[in-house]
Amino acid sequence: PVDRSPEMQEARLKLPILAEEQVIMEAINENPIVIICGETGSGKTTQVPQFLYEAGYASSNGIVGITEPRRVAAVSMSQRVAREMNLSHREVSYQIRYEGNVTDETKIKFMTDGVLLKEIQKDFLLSRYKVIIIDEAHERSVYTDILIGLLSRVVPLREKVDARQFPVTVHFNKRTPFDDYSGECFRKVCKIHRMLPPGGILVFLTGQAEVHSLCRRLRKAFPFHKNKTEGDGDKEDTVEEISKFKKSRRKKTMTLPKIDLDSYSVMPVDEGDEDREAETDDEDVAGSDHDLDVGDGESEEGERSDSSLPLYVLPLYSLLAPEKQAKVFRPPPPGTRLCITATNVAETSLTIPGIKYVVDCGKVKKRFYDKVTGVSSFRVTWTSQASANQRAGRAGRTEPGHCYRLYSSAVFGDFEKFSPPEITRRPVEDLILQMKSLNIEKTINFPFPTPPPTDALVAAEELLIALGALQEPPKAGRLKELQKAKLSCPISPLGTVMASFPVAPRYAKMLALSRQYDCLPYTITIVSAMTVRELFEEFDRPAVSEEETEKLKGKRARVVQMRRIWAGQGASQKLGDLMVMLGAVGACEYAGCTPQFCETNGLRYKAMVEIRRLRGQLTTAVNSICPDAGLYVDPKMKPPTAAQVTYLRQIVLAGLGDHIARRIQAEELLDEKWKNAYKTPLLDDPVFIHPNSVLFKQLPEFVVYQEIVETTKMYMKGVSVIEPE
Ligand code: ADP
Ligand code: MG
């Protein structure tokens, strides 16, 4: 309890923020990150730390930290808050670069952002703090920006440390399935659903197609019919269903192994104990499975439909429409068990209530980039121990739970401890440009929490030099010196402009070049669409029923037709897939960017909303650099003229100058594998125009592409035509 003086109390009550205390504290209790906006003088700086203190956020095992961009604010605010709370400077303290009055008793600590930045370097998890308040974050001071970036990494790591409230018993498979982990997931879910007490099941798979296919198999095995025609009323029906569900369960349910609530770990309790206690099968011989209830997944027995045990199966992955994602948070229909088949998104980003069982295939799909060529591909690999433990933890959010790992503990032991951070796996040109604009020139010396590989740094600097964002190093000198010089090039005036756009440097360059011929609105739209990616709904998934097969066929045909329309006529067509993006966004905005329009035309609504937001943001950024541009986001944007299209193609080429490809001519065709293929300067192997491209059939002689993605072949996406002058 805080013992405030009556005068203080009275002054406090006049502050508008006091009326919001409950709302603010609820938001803070329920979210890892909260942004508070309010008028100057409304009481944010002085009162929020007190709210937190009174709610128990400041104790001996964690204090409240507040950063200020200015020293004077750190000092004076600590004094003011101490006075308001009637506490000494030993408890409400400050720390600025060279001085401070922090003690062991400090509960609230004001400091400059630079001080916290230094502390992060020593204690990355900031374990001393229960809460960090970044005051004046909107000022975007350099240190505050870097802090926000770092904290965005710290927050999920801290969650890992203390989010799991209940013990989770981990069961390993004795054997690791060689290949068919999806089938293994199916069999495991069947067993859990038939034999174990109520509680939601969360399955981790690697991708959208797998998720849908498992959903389909499970729905077939344990059908759940939403609209029952039998029965008199909903209510009776439900009661009956519940008792039926319970009865069917009582017969078969096994007792779970006892969990010791005081001592648990995510390491194996007793390897394979489920095989003894909960099941009777023996998985020693691959495929042999004597459990009478659950046959081998491929056999008739396993797929046998059992409608007495309805399972409410839902998919979950990041590209799924938000309203479908939202379904997982609602309780399942009465009498059913919830089963969510998900990708990695369920590992950290989302918390699903009521999950008691986790089934983990142990794999993850990730995008890999070739450091030299930038070609990306998605690969399925074993996940890390940290991420497997994170997955297991999802079973213990509301009560003690169980995690079934479909691989052996020996295999788990060989997992890497942590997944390598993203910065080590992707191109870093955007990051390097931002650092250069902060005048961090020798990027190789920067104390990254994990430094990117040196070749990625070199590739980034080389690209930025080629784009004109960095000043070119002097040509003279030996190779080694040149290499060194390259890693410390200062930013150029063009680079400074580019750094102010929140998009990849290639796209920023396009924006910086677009002032002429009123091309900016078009470039902004194209760049937004290229940045958001995946505008189009994928209809490649296998259909559940014949009815759906027809529906999907119809949708696919519609998308092909719309793409052709959006690609335009005459000159526009040369802009290829970028014209399709421009046309799609234009048409969608013209129609008011509604979910219905997107649904009918095969566009992803979520992507279109993001594009709209990014267009707004880029328009504001351009206006603030050249106020006379007077740009606004026009929902009724006219298609570009022929002259504008020509200029836009030059702009695109300026940003993607190294992403060019030449079609292989008939006389060069030495090997069948080069049929319809293109040659790029960087790659020895053939690349192809993606079948979804509007230029797929046309095969122009020279093209420029947004990116190459490797699947069964190397495919160019976002293709437009180049014509030799
Ligand atoms: P905000 O952070 O929302 O701009 P503050 O918490 O800094 O608001 O200030 C809330 C109110 O407390 C202000 O209206 C101001 O008058 C009063 N206040 C802040 N610091 C002092 C101080 N050192 N002495 C007297 N009053 C102060
Ligand atoms: Mg303030």
User: For residue 63, how far is its CA from the centre of ligand 1 (angstroms)?
Assistant: 22
Which atom from ligand 1 is nearest to the alpha carbon of 76? 23
| pLDDT over 80 at 574, yes or no | yes
Summarize pLDDT for 210-227 with one digit per residue, the tens: 999 999 999 999 998 765
184: nearest Cα among 408, 407, 413 = 407
Protein residues placing their CB within 5 Å of the ion ligand 2: 44-45
φ/ψ of residue 98, rounded to 5:
-105, -5
Summarize pLDDT for 42-98 with one digit per residue, the tens: 999 999 999 999 999 998 789 999 999 888 999 999 999 999 999 999 999 999 987
* pLDDT tier for residue 171 given thresholds of 50, 70 and 90: very high
- If one residue of 9, 46, 76 were mutated to test the ligand 1 pocket, choosing by the most ligand atoms within 8 A of its CB, it would be 46
Q: Pick the residue whose CA is nearest to atom 26 on ligand 1.
A: 80
> What number of other Cβ atoms are within 10 A of residue 702's Cβ?
13
Kindly state the percentage of the chain with pLDDT values over 70: 85
Q: Pick the residue whose CA is nearest to atom 6 on ligand 1.
A: 43
| pLDDT over 70 at 555, yes or no | yes
pLDDT at res. 293: 32
Q: Pick the residue whose CA is nearest to atom 23 on ligand 1.
A: 80
User: For residue 47, how far is its CA from the centre of ligand 1 (angstroms)?
Assistant: 9
Helix (H) or strand (E) holding 301: helix 300-303
pLDDT at res. 694: 94
Radius of gyration of the chain (CA): 29
- If one residue of 14, 72, 80 were mutated to test the ligand 1 pocket, choosing by the most ligand atoms within 8 A of its CB, it would be 80
Distance CA 587, CA 25 (A): 43
User: For residue 17, how far is its CA from the centre of ligand 2 (angstroms)?
Assistant: 12
| pLDDT over 80 at 545, yes or no | no
Residue of 481 and 86 predicted with greater confidence: 86
User: For residue 149, how far is its CA from the centre of ligand 1 (angstroms)?
Assistant: 28
Ligand nearest, relative to CA of residue 78: 1
* pLDDT tier for residue 404 given thresholds of 50, 70 and 90: very high
pLDDT at res. 360: 97
pLDDT at res. 120: 85
pLDDT at res. 650: 94
Distance CA 515, CA 439 (A): 27
Which atom from ligand 1 is nearest to the alpha carbon of 40? 4
Summarize pLDDT for 244-292 with one digit per residue, the tens: 545 544 444 454 544 333 333 333 333 333 332 222 232 322 222 323 2
What's the whole-number mean pLDDT along residues 323-348? Answer: 88
Summarize pLDDT for 485-502 with one digit per residue, the tens: 667 889 999 999 999 898
User: For residue 141, how far is its CA from the centre of ligand 1 (angstroms)?
Assistant: 21
Q: Token digits for 85?
A: 């709370």
Q: Pick the residue whose CA is nearest to atom 5 on ligand 1.
A: 43
What's the whole-number mean pLDDT along residues 144-172? Answer: 79
Average confidence score pLDDT of the chain: 83
CA distances from 465 to 143, 348, 370, 453, 707 (A): 26, 37, 20, 19, 20
| Lowest model confidence (mean pLDDT) among 161-175, 235-249, 403-417 | 235-249
Q: Pick the residue whose CA is nearest to atom 27 on ligand 1.
A: 80
Collapsed DSSP state (helix, strand, coil) of residue 536:
strand
Query: What does the CA dihedral 149, 383, 275, 248 come to, rounded to 10 degrees?
Result: 60
Q: Pick the residue whose CA is nearest to atom 21 on ligand 1.
A: 80
Residue of 721 and 278 predicted with greater confidence: 721
Q: Are 348 and 325 in contact (CB under 8 A)?
A: no
pLDDT at res. 231: 38
Which atom from ligand 1 is nearest to the alpha carbon of 17? 3
pLDDT at res. 305: 75
User: For residue 130, how far is its CA from the centre of ligand 2 (angstroms)?
Assistant: 20
Distance CA 228, CA 378 (A): 42
- Which ranges of 328-370 would DSSP assign to H, the alpha helix? 345-348
CA distances from 95 to 46, 79, 108, 112 (A): 17, 12, 11, 7
Q: Where are the beta strands (DSSP E) in 563-651?
A: none
Q: Are 96 and 74 in contact (CB under 8 A)?
A: yes
User: For residue 141, how far is its CA from the centre of ligand 2 (angstroms)?
Assistant: 15
| pLDDT over 80 at 125, yes or no | yes
Q: Pick the residue whose CA is nearest to atom 20 on ligand 1.
A: 80
Distance CA 66, CA 97 (A): 15
User: For residue 78, how far is its CA from the centre of ligand 2 (angstroms)?
Assistant: 12
For ligand 1, residues with CB inside 6 Å are: 15, 38, 40-47, 76, 80
Those residues whose C-beta lies under 8 Å from the C-beta of residue 113, and which sit 6 or more positions away, are 67, 68, 69, 134, 141, 143, 144, 147
Which atom from ligand 1 is nearest to the alpha carbon of 42? 3
| pLDDT over 80 at 480, yes or no | no
Q: Are 64 and 52 in contact (CB under 8 A)?
A: yes
- Whole-prediction pTM: 0.67
pLDDT at res. 338: 96
| pLDDT over 60 at 385, yes or no | yes
Which atom from ligand 1 is nearest to the alpha carbon of 79? 23
pLDDT at res. 373: 75
| Lowest model confidence (mean pLDDT) among 198-202, 410-414, 503-507, 569-573 | 569-573
ipTM: 0.97
